[in-house]
């Protein structure tokens, strides 16, 4: 069974940085796309970033492009989201997710980790 466990969230001031981690198990990690989504209060869950499995091509939401960096360590079966220059509007619960191919839906989710950015 697929298990995803996010960590690294917290309370920071605007302009500071955080690195989120997602520990994966229960599947062939290196062959799967990995992604990060977030959900802010009163808003729908939105895409943040993804990184490929068969390759390491990355895609970012416009709102985080240039500030966030997604990466993966296949040996550790982990995916990371380095968040720089954080803004109050980045405040949300951040979720890790996975899919076998880009044509497949994001099929598994972690429990989420809270990121709160104060002004």
**Residue 79: its pLDDT value, please?**
98
The encoded tokens of residue 117 equal 């950015």
Burial of 36 (0-12, 13-18, 19+ CB in 10 A): buried
* Residue 107 neighbours by CB distance under 10 Å: 12
**Residue 55: its pLDDT value, please?**
80
Q: How far apart are CA 67 and CA 103, in angstroms?
A: 27
Instruction: Find the helix or strand (DSSP H, E) in which 72 lies.
Output: strand 68-73
The encoded tokens of residue 20 equal 């989120």
Tell me 104's DSSP state.
S
Mean pLDDT by 10 residues, the chain (119 residues): 96 98 95 96 96 91 98 97 98 96 90 97
């Amino acid at each position: 069974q697929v298990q995803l466990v996010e960590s690294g969230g917290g309370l920071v001031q605007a302009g500071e940085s955080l690195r989120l981690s997602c520990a994966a198990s229960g599947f062939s990690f290196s062959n799967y796309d990995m992604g990060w989504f977030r959900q802010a209060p009163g808003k729908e869950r939105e895409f943040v970033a993804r990184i490929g499995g068969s390759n390491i091509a990355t895609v970012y939401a416009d709102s985080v492009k240039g500030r966030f960096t997604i990466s993966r360590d296949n040996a550790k079966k982990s995916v990371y989201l380095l968040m720089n220059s954080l803004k109050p509007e980045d405040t949300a619960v951040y979720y890790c997710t996975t899919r076998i191919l880009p044509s497949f839906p994001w099929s598994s989710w972690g429990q989420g980790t809270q990121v709160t950015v104060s002004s």
